[in-house]
Amino acid sequence: MEEEVMLGPLKDLTRVPNAILGVAGTTVEAARNLRTLERIVTDRLASLDQGLREIVAVLPAVADDLMRVRAIVEPQHERVAAIERDVGRLDERLASLQHTLSLLKSEVTDATELLPDPDAPGPIARAREALTSRA
């Protein structure tokens, strides 16, 4: 057993070079992976850079289009406001005309009641009856 106690640290020491080789291999593999990752990230950044350059190139044209649209839309807002005011005035005028029509209907009804009965004999028939009934 004493021998095992003395040989234990020596066995551990013999494992150190293998452990160092394992770590070195892992480090080399990680470095290779980092190169691949660096290439992928670099390619992706180049793609993003190109896309941003294209967007920046188009922005002045988009700004010009927006200015033209704004120049068209803003006067339309003024026209819509004027139309809304006119519609309001037309609503008021329509209400006034409806009131006038109602009054006119009432006056026609009143005037109709003052007219003689259409089924009653007319003035000539009344005169004839007056002349012939005395005899």
Q: Minimal CA–CA distance to 72: which of 80, 82, 83?
A: 80
User: Whats the size of the chain, residue-wise?
Assistant: 135
**How far from each other are the two terminal CA atoms of the chain, in whole angstroms?**
173
Q: Minimal CA–CA distance to 27: which of 43, 39, 19?
A: 19
Tokens (6 digits) for 63: 């700004």
34 pLDDT higher than 90: no
Across 100-122, average pLDDT: 86
2 pLDDT higher than 70: no
Instruction: Name the pTM for this structure.
Output: 0.40
